[in-house]
Chains A and B, each alone.
Chain A
């Protein structure tokens, strides 16, 4: 998480905030990174994936290879985030 924060900072993405979420219900597929409110979910994230994620945050392409989470779980968590609970 610290590495992600530092790469986002290095890229000058001042409108991106990294927050820890209490539980996505997908520990077996972690580490998980959810990009919100855009709604992208990256699973099994490794340090070597961070540049691609940061590039996406900077307007680059979606990182398809990390998009492996079941759509029903994604929908549930996105709806939960949409309520403003977090």
Chain B
């Protein structure tokens, strides 16, 4: 089955404007700006496109909320802050199909009635940033953004913003803070950005992959898009299987939602290297619950993953091979969140640092039963606190590991 983002697989190098046009590039924009923005919102809503940054919020609904907000002006922000360990799908899109992303962003701006769009790209993505700059220059010269786009009355300016490379800088309100020239620290919600966002105005923050889906949805229709994936979750998603996962063919794979996890690992990834066996899978690294290999046939789809006890996130699939201690794994996970907590919420600071400290003690063979009990207590105490979701992220990996692999913890108890 052909993909949506990469109909012929991930292209080699950067796709030029000419190459993009030859496969229907910018046709959706030319057509859309002749009509009403509401039509774009409706088609995207009908398609069932969800956000691909991790939360999975329906894109059409987000755009409608932004349109419905009375304040003016409105802003569109493309979120390419991508800093989850192992995630590089947004970078691939920016580097290889920059015009697809730009067209998606301009369509998004048109849909919500924004005359300014910001492309927020991780500062460590130097090549991607340069490629997008060049593509923006080509697209502007061709009339695809700027004044009177494609001869219409719609005008939209675009500005590139470098995203600090830390995890929380990809949270939507932290993105807004950075664009406003402040530190990458999430805001308390509500209000949500769709009503009070950038400079206090209605703002739609959309992930790179989400926006990249829009041009083909508009060109081919909502029903076509619904031909991919499942009824609840149409479309495809880019899944990352990195070199560190010890599969034979690491890479970025575009698969319809609902594809079994086994297909990704065994068919796309070519199975485990050197006959290694799988001990556990974390479908949304680093913040989802672990699954045992008996869940390998779980469909890659948010509801199915939730029913299996985990989550889909933004598709960074992490495999733990047999012979690895889950405690060592969790030291990596808890250290990550302790470092990445921005520190503004005392509860988050306390939770993430305490979890990391406890996990290190267990790893060092100094654990005891009371310490193991503290993991759950810390997680429960802090649930729902803090301005962003980071406080809830270490919980699923730790609690699932305690449940699925108690022997790994027992092996590290102090004698």
A residues engaging B (CB < 8 A)?
Answer: 22-28, 72-73, 76, 79-80, 82-86
Residues of B within 8 A of A72 (CB): 381
CB distance from A27 to the nearest CB of B (A): 5
**A84 adjacent to B368 (CB under 8 Å):** yes
Would you call B14 an interface residue if the criterion is a C-beta within 8 Å of the partner chain's C-beta atoms? no
**CA distance in complex: A16, B347 (Å):** 28
Residues of A within 8 A of B370 (CB): 79, 82-84
Instruction: Tell me how many residue pairs across A and B have CB atoms closer than 8 Å.
Output: 49
Residues of A within 8 A of B366 (CB): 84
Q: Which of B347, B357, B368, B374 contacts A79 (CB 8 A)?
A: B374
Residues of B within 8 A of A73 (CB): 381
**A79 adjacent to B350 (CB under 8 Å):** no
Residues of A within 8 A of B350 (CB): 23-26
**CA distance in complex: A17, B354 (Å):** 21
Q: Which residue of B is nearest A30, CB measured?
A: B346
**CA distance in complex: A20, B371 (Å):** 20
Residues of B within 8 A of A84 (CB): 366, 368, 370-371
**CA distance in complex: A82, B353 (Å):** 17
Q: Which residue of A is nearest B381, CB measured?
A: A76
**B381 adjacent to A85 (CB under 8 Å):** no
**A85 adjacent to B349 (CB under 8 Å):** no
Q: Which of A22, A23, A79 contacts B346 (CB 8 A)?
A: A23
From 337 to 364 in chain B, residues with beta carbon under 8 angstroms from any chain A beta carbon are 346-347, 349-351, 353-354, 357-358, 361
Q: Which of A22, A25, A80 contacts B374 (CB 8 A)?
A: A80
A to B CB contacts below 8 Å, 10 in the list? A22-B353, A23-B353, A23-B354, A25-B346, A25-B349, A25-B351, A72-B381, A82-B370, A83-B368, A84-B368
**A85 adjacent to B377 (CB under 8 Å):** no
Residues of A within 8 A of B357 (CB): 22, 85-86
